Structure 1
Amino acid sequence: MAQPKTYALAAGTVFTAFAIGYVMQFGLPGLSDPSEPIEVSGIVDTAAPAGLEDSAPALATAGAFPTLPQESRPAPALQRASVEVAAVEGQSASDAILPKDVPSAGFDCAISATAEPGAAAMVALALDAPCHGSERVTVHHNGLMFTETVQPDGTLSLDVPALAETAVFIFSFGSGDGAIAQAQVSSLAFYDRVALQWRGDSGLGLHAREAGADYFADGHVWAGSRGTIEAAARGEGGFLARLGDTDAPEALIAEIYSFPAGTAPAEAEVALSVEAEITASNCGQDLDAQMIERRGEAALSVQDIELAMPECDAVGDFLVLDAMVRDIEVASN
């Protein structure tokens, strides 16, 4: 059964066809005079192929299409309207303040450093050098020097044993830029400290054997077994701090041994020695190093070390230099 929409569509189509035929026959009422003939000729089917224009039949029925009147209508006149602009009171147009572009701030390359005292007379250092990312920096502190490499974002954080109660630390870049930080370390008086520093891959190392400990046993403190700050803070033993970036070429390296001489619970003795491994990179060469000591309230003492390494047929052996540094002896507290 046909749907109502189908009937409506059919009726509309019939009406439209009837209306078109009426207009073609009689024209649009009121727009032209159907009695006036209109000549139509040369109408070409634009869909015909090129070159077939002459064979296109002309419409022979005169008056089939009425001419629409060519009305010449004047362009609509635009109304003139005045716009009133209120003046800023007390200012002319030339005096008006226009917004200005705010200049953007440049990248801040300022270098800053902080120093905070911590347990076991250690100092937490923090460096911020945003324009010196991944660069080498040398840290100076009371004769102690070591080389570190700044992080790619220009920051550096490390813990350093203090060698003075008023501990001053200087950060120095190769360009001459740098920063200074300072901290008060009141607990330094409770610690004896011995530092050994050198340059490059020298094979040197500081060893401390507490309470008669054998090598590589408990109580033997060295780079491979450094002890803990927590134990030192309780007066139970010493610890070793190793400073410097060993991956950087010809870097300044330092090892510092700390012992809580002022808080050790009983008599204690620590055997100290400097040892050098004979390697392919140092055999047959002269090594330069330096020892810095702080014991109790005494002033810092500095000792230069010059060491002639054996020839390369001794690679793998060790030199033990126990006479270069005094042992630590603690009386009962």
Structure 2
Amino acid sequence: MINPRRILTAGGTFACALGVGFIMQNAASSEPVATEVSMGGMIAAAPVQAVKDNFTQVSGGSGPIPEQEFRGKLTGITLTSASIPTPPKMGPQPKRLPANPVNGAQIAKAALTDQTILDLPPEEPAPAFSCDITMNAKALVAAMAEVTVNAPCLVNERFTLHHSGMMFTEVTDSKGNSRMIVPGLSPNAVFMASFPNGEAAMASVSLDALEFYERAVIQWQGDSGLQLHALEYGAGYDDPGHVWADAAGDFEQMARGNRGVLTRLGAKDVPNARLAEVYTFPSGAAQKPGDIHLSVEAEITSANCGRDITAQSLEVRNGGTLRARDLELAMPACDATGDFLVLKNMLNDLKIARK
């Protein structure tokens, strides 16, 4: 802050100087004059009164000018100041914190006391859904097996059923299920279903009645046009003893020991499917002795003409050892479409003894 005494002194000094000069120039005038003095923003306004006293102006001489004494009086000096900006009012301030510290432990304890904590409801388990493939096999009459496959995540999916070297293609339904009736080729029958994605399942069953039956199998893949024919007791083609796909026989007659039956396996409508035909004769319950001629025929069609086909035959006698034989055949040109090739050595004839 500026000292008022220093302002007064400075104001008086400047006032005196201005007064002296004014008197020297206007000695004859005795009117008071208002003089403004500005100093660093501080302004002094005062009437100045000149008093004529013993004052002599010396001029034209040489030597030092004698000191002149001025006796005057300054009156009516008023101090003023420039306008000082007023600082803005203080804005709203946050409330002061309490003097005593807050105890966090007490707050936690109060929360636990004031609020009731309820037990959360138990979480209900989500319904289980398994993609596991399950498979079962059950023994039936005539050494047959009922084989079922359940693959809930593989609906309408093709798979291959394997049993003692025999293979054929099947397809699951809209729920992933499949049911098959399969002639057994081994007393301790093992079945396996394999899917294209590499998943598989197995099942087994005992077929002790296999020793009373003779079985012959022909199997192939694709449109090979192969057929298995059995001519029983000297029957000719289309006679009652001619057993093949279009005259498969009757299980009731087989149970009585009179006739054999043919079982066709595989989904023939699936592209490039594996198919099989199995002929079964009840040698252990045969009513008469005799011979049964077995043959494999290949029809020449537009699908197989002019190319090579492959096939395999399987035979089991009275539950004994399984015998296999492979076939590779060059089919005639397509101008022979509709004709048949007879393959006599693929299967051995059956000789039925008297019981």
When normalised by structure 2's length, the TM-score is 0.66
Once the two structures are TM-superposed, the CA of residue 262 in structure 1 deviates from its matched residue by: 1.2
Once the two structures are TM-superposed, the CA of residue 216 in structure 1 deviates from its matched residue by: 1.2
* Cα separation, 2, equivalents of 1:225 and 1:293: 21
Alignment of 1:71-86 (within 5 A): none
* Cα separation, 2, equivalents of 1:214 and 1:273: 12
Select which of 256, 264, 270 maps to 1:242: 264
CA 137–93 in structure 1, closer or farther in 2 if over 3 Å, else same: farther
CA 298–105 in structure 1, closer or farther in 2 if over 3 Å, else same: same
> Which residue in 1 is equivalent to 2:244?
222
> Which residue in 2 is equivalent to 1:105?
127
* Cα separation, 2, equivalents of 1:233 and 1:114: 25
- What CA deviation, in whole Å up to 9, does each residue of 1:117-146 have, x standing for no partner? 111111011111111110001000000000
Once the two structures are TM-superposed, the CA of residue 106 in structure 1 deviates from its matched residue by: 4.0
> Which residue in 2 is equivalent to 1:126?
148
Once the two structures are TM-superposed, the CA of residue 150 in structure 1 deviates from its matched residue by: 0.8
Once the two structures are TM-superposed, the CA of residue 97 in structure 1 deviates from its matched residue by: 3.1
* Cα separation, 1, equivalents of 2:291 and 2:178: 36
Amino acid corresponding to residue 229 of structure 1 in structure 2 = F
* Cα separation, 2, equivalents of 1:154 and 1:141: 21
CA 93–161 in structure 1, closer or farther in 2 if over 3 Å, else same: farther
Alignment of 1:201-212 (within 5 A): 201-212=223-234
> Which residue in 2 is equivalent to 1:161?
183
> Which residue in 1 is equivalent to 2:89?
none
Once the two structures are TM-superposed, the CA of residue 260 in structure 1 deviates from its matched residue by: 0.6
Q: Secondary structure at the match of 1:115?
A: strand
* Cα separation, 2, equivalents of 1:128 and 1:261: 35
Once the two structures are TM-superposed, the CA of residue 93 in structure 1 deviates from its matched residue by: 7.3
> Which residue in 2 is equivalent to 1:282?
304
Amino acid corresponding to residue 286 of structure 2 in structure 1 = A
* Cα separation, 1, equivalents of 2:276 and 2:116: 70
- What CA deviation, in whole Å up to 9, does each residue of 1:34-53 have, x standing for no partner? xxxxxxxxxxxxxxxxxxxx
Once the two structures are TM-superposed, the CA of residue 98 in structure 1 deviates from its matched residue by: 2.1
* Cα separation, 2, equivalents of 1:324 and 1:314: 22
Structure label with greater radius of gyration: 2
Q: Secondary structure at the match of 1:116?
A: strand
Q: Secondary structure at the match of 2:284?
A: coil
Select which of 306, 326, 330 maps to 2:352: 330
**Contact 1:226/1:241 (CA < 8 Å) preserved in 2?**
yes
* 2:224 counterpart of 1:183: no
Q: Secondary structure at the match of 2:283?
A: coil
Once the two structures are TM-superposed, the CA of residue 95 in structure 1 deviates from its matched residue by: 7.0
- What CA deviation, in whole Å up to 9, does each residue of 1:204-245 have, x standing for no partner? 010001011110110100010101222212211100010000
Gaps of 5+ in 2: 1-113
* Cα separation, 1, equivalents of 2:185 and 2:274: 18
Q: Percent identity?
A: 47
Q: CA RMSD in A?
A: 1.6
**Contact 1:221/1:239 (CA < 8 Å) preserved in 2?**
yes
Select which of 295, 300, 304 maps to 2:322: 300
> Which residue in 2 is equivalent to 1:38?
none
Deviates more, 1:174-183 or 1:202-211: 174-183
* Cα separation, 2, equivalents of 1:181 and 1:101: 38
State how many pairs are aligned. 243
**Contact 1:119/1:229 (CA < 8 Å) preserved in 2?**
no
Once the two structures are TM-superposed, the CA of residue 101 in structure 1 deviates from its matched residue by: 2.2
Once the two structures are TM-superposed, the CA of residue 306 in structure 1 deviates from its matched residue by: 0.8
CA 99–308 in structure 1, closer or farther in 2 if over 3 Å, else same: same
> Which residue in 2 is equivalent to 1:147?
169
Alignment of 1:44-123 (within 5 A): 97-123=119-145
* Cα separation, 1, equivalents of 2:195 and 2:319: 33
Gaps of 5+ in 1: 1-91
Once the two structures are TM-superposed, the CA of residue 321 in structure 1 deviates from its matched residue by: 1.1
CA 163–100 in structure 1, closer or farther in 2 if over 3 Å, else same: same
**Contact 2:132/2:151 (CA < 8 Å) preserved in 1?**
yes
